Structure 1
Amino acid sequence: MATLEETGTSDAGASGEEGVRRRDFINIAAVSFAGVGGVVAVLPLINQMNPSADVLAMATTEVDLSGIQPGQAIKTTFRSQPLFVRQLTPKEIAEADKVDPSTLRDPQSLEERTVDGKKQWLITMGVCTHLGCVPLGAGEGENRGEFGGYFCPCHGSSYDTAARIRKGPAPKNLEVPAYKFTSDTAILVG
């Protein structure tokens, strides 16, 4: 019968492999436990960066269009900023369409600024792109400037009937926010 020395195997070698396996398992378990603990500790920190309920409530604004007659505009708010909603008359649409967009400082056609099939509805933010003043022209009897759209009283920027900058220091047209029609008489902005 052969002895352990002759066969070259020993119980120490077998238990050594077993010890390495146990040690690997303990290391993997410890690292996994630490990783889960790290995620549990970081999750509340990341979650606190989510917007609060009052901010989420302001993320969209629904506007009823049924009371706005052709040629009229209303002022409302969207994300704590003024929002202008105007129903253009056929004359105002024609005035906007006859302007070659390539001649404008911020070239955009009326079609690019409105929803397909709803060209008469112009929805823009009521904030001048120069220094953030609120232009006139949405209220009854307000100065609409020489192009019949909006006029910023702060520094004299004039916008046309499509709310495109035509004169003055403003670098861009009035911003058109993301919106969609939820019915023929209502829009959802945001």
Structure 2
Amino acid sequence: MMDAPGTLPLTTALQLSDPDVALSLVKRLFGKQPHDTMVALGFTRQCLTAVVSAHLPTLSPPLPALMQDLTGLLVQHRVTETITVGYGAAAYMTSALTGLQGMLDRVGIIQMATVHYQNGRYCLPLCPQPGRCCPAENILWNPDQGDPAAIAALQAHTPVIHTIYPSRRSLRSIRQPCPTGGARR
């Protein structure tokens, strides 16, 4: 069976579930590794079709609503599998990743991998058998290792990208004012 033009074959999608590749892909899409953010790389028929990121609030009450929004966008784009990457403090991020996994399970989206990244290191916090199938300790991320696969994935197909902010206030805090004399909109 031939793959449709512009799609990645199954072997490439599975290769993207490698944490080094997933982290390189996020860095290429966002220009840097985000902070206090969860990113879901969404696949449909083994093709990267949607990337949804959610900037996480410092307080947890809005977290379930953000995860519902993130899940809803993945469903809207008919995503069938995800690789989820969380950026931030371990205790908070593990809880957020666990909650998201439950929501994705309820709508039938398969998690191919879940990665937590902090301070140049990553781990696989939802691994059912740490130390057996996945290293138990945090691993130093080597950006060069996953970059070729990330570049190939982006050359094969450009995904839709959505960003969710916890509030209008947080969105205003990251906006940059127009330079003096700059063009008005």
Q: Which has the higher contact order (CA 8 A, sep 6+)?
A: 2
TM-score (norm 1): 0.23
TM-score (norm 2): 0.24
Q: Flag the structure with higher helix content.
A: 2
